[in-house]
Amino acid sequence: MLRSVSVVNGERRRRGNALVEFSLTWVPIMVLLFGLADVSRMLFMRNMVENAVRDAVRSASTYQFDLDNSHCESQTECIKRVVRKGSLGLFNGTAGGREALDYIHVSYYSPDNLAVPLTQAQLPKSVNGVEVRYVNQPGNLVEVRVDNYPFQWLIPVPAGYLSGTGLTFSVASSDVLQALPTAQYRPPAP
pLDDT tens, residue by residue, 78-92: 889 999 999 998 899
pTM score > 0.85 for this model?
no
Helix axes 2-61, 75-86, angle to 10 degrees: 150
The predicted-structure confidence for 139-152, as pLDDT tens digits, reads as follows 889 999 999 998 87
What pLDDT is attached to residue 186? 64
Cα-based torsion angle of the residue sequence 69, 75, 80, 82 in order, rounded to the nearest 10 degrees: 40
Query: Distance between CA atoms of 94 and 127, rounded to whole angstroms?
Result: 42
In Å, the largest CA–CA distance within the chain is 113
User: In a 3-state reduction of DSSP, which class is residue 88?
Assistant: coil
Q: Which pLDDT score is estimated for 61?
A: 85
- Residues of the chain with pLDDT below 70 are 1-16, 65-66, 120, 122-135, 156-165, 181-190
